[in-house]
Every structure is written in C-alpha cells, then in structure tokens.
Amino acid sequence: MDFMKEYNAWLKFSKMKFNAATWIPISVVLGVATGAILFFILNFLLQIVTIIPLAFGAAVGIMLLGFPYMQKEKIVDSIERDFSDALKQMADTLKAGDTYASALREIVNSDYGRLSEEMKIALRRLEEGENVETALRGFAERVDSRLIKRTIVIILDSIKTGSSLSDLLEDISDDVRELYRIKEQRKANTTMQFMFMIAAGGFIAPMIFGEVTAVMSMFSSLTFEAITASNQATQQMGVFIELLIQAYVFVAIVGTGLMMSLIREGKLNKSIIYIPLLLLAGYTMYYAATFAVGFLIAGAI
C-alpha cells in the first residue's frame, strides 16, 4: 500500500526504530486501552455516563499515529530554514573553482544540523560513483519538501544546460530565503486568529458547556426527587441531553483543529497535531467546569 510505504518513510526519516506494521497497532492498542480504562473508571466506579473515554482514547491514538508525521515536519522545517544559507555556501565554493563534490562537502562539514546529515548521504553516493543528478534527487526525495524538490529540479536543469550554477545558486538562495520568510510571516500574521481558536475551541466553549451540563444535571436531579411518576424518563432524558452536549463539544473541537491547520499551515495535514491536544484540553476543561459548578450549586442548595 502507498500509505504504508509513506508511513514507513516517515518513521525512517524520523529515526524511529519501528516500522508501520508495528507502530500503527501499538498506537491503536494504546488509544483503545486509554478509552477502556477511562470507561471502566467513569461508568462502573463513578457511574458517570459520558463520551470522555471516547474523546481521550481517540486523542491518544491520533497523537501516537501522527507522531512520526509531526517529527518529520519538524525536521523538514529545520532543513528548509537552513537551505538558503547552504545554497549560498555552495555558490561561493563553486565560484572558487571547486567541484560539486567539494561544494557538498562544505555543507556536510558545516553546522546545518539535519541538512548536513542528509547532504552527507548525497555526498557518499556521489563518491561511490553515482552522478550529481541521482544524488541530489535522492536527497530531495528523502526530505520530501515541495520547496526543496522544486529547487533541486531547477539546479539539475541548470547543470544540464551548462548555465553558470554559482550565479544561479545565489539567486535561488535569495528566493528560498524569501519563500521561507513569507511562510513564517504567514504564521505570524495568523497568530491572533490561531490563539483565539485555541482559547475558544479548547477552553472557553468546553467550559461553558460544562457549566451548562452541571446546571442541567442539578435541575434534573431535583426534578427526579420531586416527581413521582415520570422521574425515570426525566433522568434518562437528562443523560441523553448531556451526551448530545458532549458530542457537540467533540465535533466542535475537531472542526476547530481542522480550521487551525488550514489557517496556520494552509493544509489540513497538520490537524493531526492540533486535534488530539484540543481534545485533551477541551474535555479536561469541560469535566473540570462541570465538577466545579456542580459543587458550587450543591453547596448553595
């Protein structure tokens, strides 16, 4: 499967000592186990009917499944950040009359973190007899960044046409730096909207719904004690409404995570990072607000 192949590539790139066939079942089992433990504690020991076990189990499972992707994106971001400086250094090396291998060696010997490590693999392939095109294409495929892939294509086309690569690398270096700056500026410009969505979706909305649930539960309990004929139906209706509220919180948090990813990153993939964190924060706030308000009302009564 293409997905399994890509997932294995994420794990390998992130230097995790697992393959997809191992990590995916581990993530699913831990997510299910988390939900099952919470279900037992809440429903059997505390006798609370809630979808919190589902939310927390899903959060743990999604977070573990998305961890390789999160690590891969973090590494790619660091490589993109250093790439413009590396291209400028390559240009200076070529202007001095050195070869492509010498230019790559300069990057390897410089402190560019993961970029130096990936360039070391490309340099080793070049020294083992592969041509520059194969070595650089392999580098671009491993990093799996649209920015770097397009840059490598331009560099290889320049090599084929015999253009002055040193001058081209300087121009590309400036363009790459500007593109990365625009990407970071986009994040900076959406910080307020991003923080508002975190506050609204992860804290304020769950807190309000938790307070509503607490008030409703208290009135339902009072009604249960006061009514004689239909008190069982009244209590069941109260529980059903609570579950609907919790389900709405779940849907709202997932939608918030998707919108945060779209606004912040311009793509939905990063929602795999935001949704689990929002689920954990949102339902913690929901349950805390329910408990706090219920305690205050019970004390007042």
Cα-Cα-Cα-Cα torsion 79, 80, 85, 88, nearest 10 degrees, comes to 110
Cα-Cα-Cα-Cα torsion 99, 172, 69, 137, nearest 10 degrees, comes to -40
Other CB atoms within 10 Å distance of the CB of residue 212 = 16
What pLDDT, in 10s, does the model give residues 136-177? 888 888 888 888 888 888 888 887 777 677 778 888 888 888
- Cα–Cα distances in angstroms (integers) from residue 11 to residues 15, 112, 114, 247, 255, in the given order: 6, 22, 15, 33, 27
Please tell me the predicted confidence (pLDDT) of residue 218. Answer: 65
Tokens 């939905």 correspond to what residue? 268
What is the greatest pairwise CA distance in the chain? 95
Give the pLDDT band (50/70/90) at residue 229.
very low
Average pLDDT over residues 121-126: 87
Q: What is the DSSP string of 256-286?
A: HHHHHHHHHHSSSTTHHHHHHHHHHHHHHHH
Tokens 């186990």 correspond to what residue? 33
Which of the residue ranges 112-121, 195-204, 243-252 has the most confident prediction, judged by mean pLDDT? 112-121
* DSSP 3-state of 202: helix
Task: Note the pTM of the prediction, 2 decimals.
Answer: 0.75
C-alpha–C-alpha distance, residues 175 and 179, integer Å:
6
Please tell me the predicted confidence (pLDDT) of residue 231. Answer: 53
Are the CB atoms for 261 and 182 separated by under 8 Å? no
